Structure 1
Amino acid sequence: MNAQENSPYSRFGLGNLIPAQNNLNRAMGGLTAAYNNFQSVNFTNPASYANLKITTYDIGLDYSSRTLNTLTPPKSFTSAYLIPSYLQLGLPLSKKNNWGMNIGLRPISRINYDITIRTRTSIDSVRYGYVGNGGSYQAFTGMGFGSKNLTVGFNVGYMFGNKEYNSRVSFINDSVTYKTSNTTDTTRFGGLFYNAGIQYKLNLNKTTSLRLGAFSNFKTEMTATKSISRETVNFSTNSGIQTIDSVYRGVDEEGKIIYPSSWGAGFMIDNENVWMVGVEFNAAKWNDYRYFGANDNMVDSWTARFGGQIIPNYKGEGYWSRVAYRFGFSFGPDNLKINKPINQTTFSFGAGLPVRRNVYTNQYTVINTAFELCYRGNNSNEIKESLFRLSVGLNLSDIWFNKPKYQ
């Protein structure tokens, strides 16, 4: 995978957050609280698992292009990377009793930055280098169950990851050669997490329904181990870091990382297989975030989401009339504050591209795409980010996932 990402904002907290929705929901502005469809696995609200009717395998990939713009000095830098966005398997345990489960793995955040700052003293030039790598992940399983109109669900799993920060200082002189000092701060962490959700469906008429939904991610306390080392090194952009001498190597320090609670609530109006629209509000208590007792510039955040979907003719002969066209919009303050608040705005659209005709009731293959334009920061922030993200998901349930029946 190509991972040439560079985002200074990922230095804080556990890094840049990866969208907590599958590709289908991302295209609709990230609506998940009230979304429920048997042809997709909505891992954000596990109450939706109760509606699974057929074994479903869902995998997603993200391609992102990020552009950084600095105010002083005015510069621009673009990086691109490709990562898996989730892998999950939805299983209907009892169609009659509205009982389903899901098993999945997905990334939560990414740390990836490489910054060089040069200054001039009275004699020498000094070059400071800051490099960070790492991220966090969740492996989980969950269940959803309930009646025809009211369902509840939960996920339980293990959240884990690592973060590594390198700080280099180099003195540059025309006649004297100095060695470079390098400090490495490495942290590994892990702990159990839980979340739960609820959905309620109210039929407005024979074809149209109103669905209400809410979910909550509970505060997670993870055990962490941190180690610090200081070395004298030779450094070059071609060969990287070559250690000459170890100056200090600290004993592993045990501590805690507190990952904050969050919640979401919303509604969707669904005209079955024709159109749907929805509104949702999300909030997260990032003031509660702690890394070995430090808050690391994290602040409470919220996001307002709007989106919808249109299918011109679900049973039509023309292929493009059977495609699901999706659109969405979201905005809100970021969970990071550096002197001034940072705002985020995202525009999204996408499509659900059926690979099979809908006459197959026990098998289907859909390619879900999402295009997102994300803006982070404004003219009052030192660094502004713009992000283009292309997400592609393969939603597959074919005949080989079902037990054959013989008479």
Structure 2
Amino acid sequence: MNRKILVVILLITSTTLLAQRTNSSPYSFFGIGDEFSPTTVEQSTMGGIGAAYNHYKYLNFTNPAANAYLRYTTYAFGALNNSLTVKSDGEKQDSNSTTLSYIALGFPIGQKAGFSLGIQPISSVGYSLRSNTFDVNGDLQAITLYQGEGGINRIYGSFGMKLFKNFSIGIEADYSFGNIENSITNQIDNVNLATKYKEENIVRGGAVTLGTQYQKLLKNNVYLNAGATFKLGNDLNVTGNEYLYSLTVSSSGADIPRDTISNTAIDGKYKMPLKTTLGVGFGKFDKWYVGLDYENQDAIEVLGSLSNTNASYRYENSNRLSLGGFYIPRINSISSYWDRVTYRAGVRLEKTGLAVNGSGSNTNFTSINDFGISFGLGLPLKQLSNVNLGFEYGKRGSTTNNLIEENYFNFRLSFSLSESWFIKRKID
């Protein structure tokens, strides 16, 4: 591939990544929005494992120590299509959204180190909900519209190296940035003016992740992998403004602001605790692999003026358990293309760390849990490149305590383009 053309593609798709609306989940209303785990499509189709996993041509967004095993320069592009069904009190609504998931580049440095960099979203906000209020006669009395958009992206640089024969270490630094806007519009019947509350938030913050991996060759060419990552505690600083004002609505549906009732500055932060991920796996080189990950993080702390607006939700300890792997029938098969395909599958059980107050009582919070099963295909192209397809079905939340249950189907697509750089040409 022409590298100049690739740079242009990266610039164009990076702009698209930052500009798009990437979510349709009502749970993106809370906090910093719907959070994403940093995984490639290959990892996602294996349940999200990554602490112990490494590969000579695939990137790993979970553990920076995995960069030490890269042997080829790899460009990675990922996209996600999310089909969502929302259920609440017997009602059901469907939605669909498509987003670019990541753009990344990784390459080896000598025989014992590697580096990768990229950009990807870490949370998104994108919802539009309408609530109707009726009087005792069943006539419409008021309409309340909840809307939100935006999200947080991160750029990162990740380095890993083999410290000893079977042991590698890694470090990753990232910078998160984004804008989030939430609004609530209330229109009462037979009243000319509506009222609107709007928050405009600017989010900024940096983080550092440390990682280690151990790989040992056992009998019959089976190897054992173990790994751990530690994302150090960091702050996401939030600034902006919140407004309360009256308005009229034009025939086209646009807001026409009238009088500002209040204008208050927002100054707060989300204090993100240490996040630990432990993993172990067994495999046979270019044949099969099975891995298990466990991730844990204490509750996110909300500080400053943000702490005055979270009566409807709170954060609690989060954890995730992932199990998955892959199988390749015969990677060098000449007679059958499907024998060279990588077949992946996994399962994920997650306590998201979000608890929502659905009853109006400040003591009645319900934890939001997420369960997903996934499978995928790695379709080989010429030389070392692959097209990766991923499919995931999952369920999040429940209808108890006046809350919402989400059933989702995710289709993921990625291109992993690998080639050799920095190799001197030989002349016979």
Is the TM-score greater than 0.5? yes
Which of 399, 404, 417 in structure 2 is aligned with 1:383?
A: 404
Equivalent residue, structure 1, for 2:146? 130
- Give the direction of change, closer, same or farther, for the CA distance of 1:45–1:292 in structure 2 (3 Å limit): farther
Instruction: Kindly report structure 1 stretches of 4+ aligned residues shifted beyond 6 Å.
Output: none
Q: CA, structure 1 residues 393+4, in 2 after alignment: closer, same or farther (shift >3 Å)?
A: closer
1:109 offset after TM fit, Å?
A: 0.7
Does the CA-based 8 Å contact 1:226-1:252 persist in structure 2? yes
Which secondary structure state, in structure 2, belongs to the residue aligned with residue 20 of structure 1?
A: coil
Give TM-score, length-normalised by structure 2.
Answer: 0.86
Change (3 A) 1:406 1:103: same
| 2:218 aligned with 1:201 | no
Look up the equivalent residue of 1:129 and give its one-letter code: L
Shift of the alpha carbon at 1:290? 4.5
Structure 2 distance, partners of 1:251, 1:11, is 20
Cα-to-partner distance string for 1:109-165 (whole Å, 9 max, x where unaligned) = 111111111113579711111111121111010110123310010110211112111
- State how many pairs are aligned: 392
1:257 correspondence with 2:270: yes
Describe the superposition over 1:321-362 as per-residue Cα deviations: whole angstroms up to 9, x where unpaired. Answer: 000100101113222112222221100000111002xxx4xx
AA partner of residue 384 (structure 1)? E
- Which one of the candidate residues 101, 107, 122 is aligned to 1:108? 122
5+ residue gaps, structure 1: none
Pairing 1:325–2:338 present: no
1:211 to 206, 225, 235: 225
- Per-residue CA shift, 1:81-127, capped at 9, x if unaligned? 111111111021112xx111111111001111111111135797111
Give the equivalent residue in structure 2 for 1:405: 425
Question: Structure 1 residues 17-26 or 117-126, which shifts more?
Answer: 117-126
Structure 1: distance between partners of 2:412 and 2:107: 24
Tell me the equivalent position of 2:325: 308
| Aligned-partner Cα distance in 1 for 2:351–2:64 | 26
Q: Distance in 1 between matches of 2:426 and 2:349?
A: 53
Q: Structure 2: how far apart are the matches of 1:406 and 1:201?
A: 33
1:167 to 184, 191, 197: 184
How far apart are the structure 2 equivalents of 1:269 and 1:4?
35
Write the deviation string for residues 383-405 of structure 1: whole angstroms up to 9, x where unpaired: 10011111111100236x55561
- Cα 1:240–1:300 change in 2 (3 A) is farther
> Equivalent residue of 2:27, what SS?
helix
> SS of the residue aligned with 1:24?
helix
Q: Distance in 1 between matches of 2:342 and 2:302?
A: 39
1:378/1:116 Cα in 2 relative to 1: closer, same or farther (>3 Å)?
closer
C-alpha distance in 2 between matches for 1:78 and 1:55: 40
Q: Distance in 2 between matches of 1:92 and 1:110?
A: 32
- Corresponding residue for residue 377 of structure 2: 351
* Distance in 2 separating the partners of 1:228 and 1:269: 52
* Aligned mate of 1:153, from 161, 165, 170: 170
With normalisation by structure 1, the TM-score equals 0.91
The percent of aligned pairs where both chains have the same amino acid is 27
Deviations 1:241-294 (A, max 9, x none): 322314145253333232333111011101111111111111122343557452
* Residues 258 and 291, structure 1, Cα contact 8 Å, conserved in 2: no
| Residues in 2 aligned to 1:70 and 1:251: alpha-carbon distance in whole angstroms | 34
Say if 2:362 is the partner of 1:342.
Answer: no
Aligned with 1:141 (options 157, 172, 176): 157
Residues in 1 aligned to 2:225 and 2:231: alpha-carbon distance in whole angstroms: 20
Give the superposition deviation at 1:376. Answer: 0.6
Q: Is the 8 A contact 1:115 1:131 kept in 2?
A: yes
In structure 2, distance between residues paired with 1:245 and 1:379: 39
CA distance, structure 2, for counterparts of residue 247 and residue 217 of structure 1: 42
Matched, 1:365 2:346: no
**Structure 1 Cα separation of the partners of residues 305 and 38 of structure 2:** 25
Give ranges in structure 2 of 5+ residues lacking alignment.
1-15, 357-364
Q: Does residue 1:266 correspond to 2:284, yes or no?
A: no
Deviations 1:298-327 (A, max 9, x none): 111111111111101111121000001001
Does the residue aligned with 2:315 lie in a helix, a strand or coil?
coil
Q: Does 1:297 align with 2:310?
A: no
Partner residue of 1:392?
413
One-letter amino acid of the structure 1 residue matched with residue 316 of structure 2: V
Other-structure match for 1:283: 296
Retained in 2: the 8 A contact 1:259–1:290? no
